[in-house]
Structure 1
Amino acid sequence: MTEDPRTWMPGVQLVFLSTPFLLMLSAMAMNACVALSRDFDLLIEAIQGNPWFERQKNLWGTASFKSRCYLVWSACGVVIWPKLHVRRGHLDADKMDNLPRGLRRRMIIAIWLGFTGFALMFLAIGAYKLGKN
């Protein structure tokens, strides 16, 4: 498809350009909900004793919204690639089993929404750059 996106109907262009941002905002909102709810305490309990996560928690703290969001995003990386973190010694495999299944699923969905939105954003930018005359 070599068609210039600028020639599309305005409504289609709006959907094409806003979808990546909506996906990324959805991911951020899901993790903000975890950071502001008691799920955050469940997450901290499940990963407690993990040396890497404990360093992150000591560095950022758990009091502010910003620090809690950062810790949730860090934990999402641990949840989505646990074998990598176990191999590096950042994570105890038994500790990840303590994480509630629903919370783990929401974190995985949030991180993939963020990745997908980011990829679609680059695809949209590429389509507009390639369509430029």
Structure 2
Amino acid sequence: MTEFWNSWWAFFFMLAPFVIGSLGMAMILVMAYRNLDMILDTFPNSEYVQRQKMLWGNSGLYSRFILTSSLAAVALLPKGHIKRGELDENEVRNLPHFIKRRMLIAWWLCFVGMAWLCLAVGLLKLTGN
């Protein structure tokens, strides 16, 4: 097994989660500039969205990125927020499907990248390298 960790395969194996996670983050960044205004217009009466907008703002790179990623997480898993009355169920349904699909892909890329990285570090620790 130590031969593997000294090969180029190991380099690519350890680089892959960063590439995958970066693609997900890049998708969220693109949505922050292309689709954030449309996303915010979709949720005019949702308390959670308005609170996040006040907390993070929507003018700078960092604030737009954080706001978009938090809204993506809520749009993908809205049930808890709907039960608490923080999101309007009709507004969640009105979110354009192409945006919701991009959000889903971006979050899965980030999740897979993180899971792969944890697996790779665990394997590296187990082999003693």
Q: TM-score, normalised by structure 2?
A: 0.93
C-alpha separation in 2, matches of 1:90 and 1:21: 34
Q: Offset at 1:65? A: 1.0
| 1:87 and 2:83 matched | yes
Counterpart AA for 1:118: M
C-alpha separation in 2, matches of 1:121 and 1:90: 34
C-alpha separation in 2, matches of 1:45 and 1:26: 26
Aligned to 2:25: 28
Alpha-carbon displacement from aligned partner over 1:53-109 (angstroms, at most 9, x marks no partner) = 101101111111111111111011112212122123221110012211001000011
* Equivalent residues of 1:76, 1:107 under 8 A apart: yes
**2:59 is paired with a residue of what secondary structure?**
coil
* Equivalent residues of 1:79, 1:108 under 8 A apart: no
Fraction of identical pairs, as percent: 35
Q: Offset at 1:48? A: 2.2
Aligned to 2:7: 10
Q: Offset at 1:32? A: 0.4
Counterpart AA for 1:36: Y
| 1:103 and 2:102 matched | no
Structure 1, unmatched stretches of 5+, are none
Aligned to 1:19: 16
C-alpha separation in 2, matches of 1:80 and 1:23: 20
Deviates more, 1:67-76 or 1:83-92: 83-92
After the TM superposition, list the runs of 4 or more consecutive aligned residues in structure 1 that deviate by more than 2 angstroms: none
| 1:56 and 2:48 matched | no
Q: TM-score, normalised by structure 1?
A: 0.90
Counterpart AA for 1:28: M
Of 102, 124, 128, 2:120 maps to 124
CA RMSD of aligned residues (A): 1.3
Structure 2, unmatched stretches of 5+, are none
**2:20 is paired with a residue of what secondary structure?**
helix
